[in-house]
């Protein structure tokens, strides 16, 4: 149980285009999801907290107009990278908090974004 999926697993796009990444909780409902960014051989940095039915909470330094987050249902959150630039190339990982298990988060497999 407690599976989180992400789609796509990898994507290549051109500078200036937008890319949408989906995060789904497959067998549980997630009122809260988190989006992280990971650079090669580095730690995960929290980008934003996504709450179902409300606006996302962004971390300091993360441009909310560039990284659009939508959490329209209890099983789906999306991250859209708008007007992508090569410096946006990274590994994006989402996680979902299960309401039944105190403190645990379940992570998706990640999405590798490359902007050319």
Q: Please, which residue, 3 or 83, has the CB nearer to other proteins? A: 3
Q: Please, which residue, 11 or 107, has the CB nearer to other proteins? A: 107
Q: Please, which residue, 6 or 78, has the CB nearer to other proteins? A: 6
Q: What is the CA radius of gyration of the chain?
A: 13
| CA distance readout (Å), 29 to 23, 50, 52, 85 | 12, 13, 10, 33
- CA–CA dist 78, 75 (Å, integer): 10
Lookup: tokens for 59: 């971390």
Nearest distance in Å: CB 99, other proteins: 8
Q: How many CB atoms within 10 Å of residue 62?
A: 17
Q: If binding is defined by CB under 8 A, does position 40 make contact with other proteins?
A: no
Residue 64 host element (H or E): none
Which residue from 51, 80, 89, 105 is in contact with other proteins, where contact means CB under 8 A?
A: 105
Interface characters, 70-89, with other proteins (x: CB under 8 A) = --------------------
* Cα angle, residue 95 at apex, residues 90 and 96 outer, rounded to 5°: 160
> Residues 8 to 37: which contact other proteins by CB under 8 A?
32, 34
What residue ranges bind other proteins (CB under 8 A)? Answer: 4, 6, 32, 34, 41-46, 49, 91, 93, 95, 97, 102-110, 112
């Amino acid at each position: 149980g407690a599976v989180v999926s992400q789609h796509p697993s990898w994507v290549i796009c051109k500078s200036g285009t937008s890319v949408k990444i989906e995060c789904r909780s497959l067998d549980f409902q997630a009122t809260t999801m988190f989006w992280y960014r990971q650079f090669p051989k580095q730690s995960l940095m929290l980008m934003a907290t996504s709450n179902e039915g409300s606006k996302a909470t962004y971390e300091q330094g993360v441009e909310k107009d560039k990284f659009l987050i939508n959490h329209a249902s209890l099983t789906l959150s999306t991250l859209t990278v708008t007007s992508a630039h090569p410096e946006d190339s990274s590994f994006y990982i989402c996680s979902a908090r299960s309401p039944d298990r105190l403190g645990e988060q379940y992570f998706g497999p990640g999405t590798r974004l490359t902007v050319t």
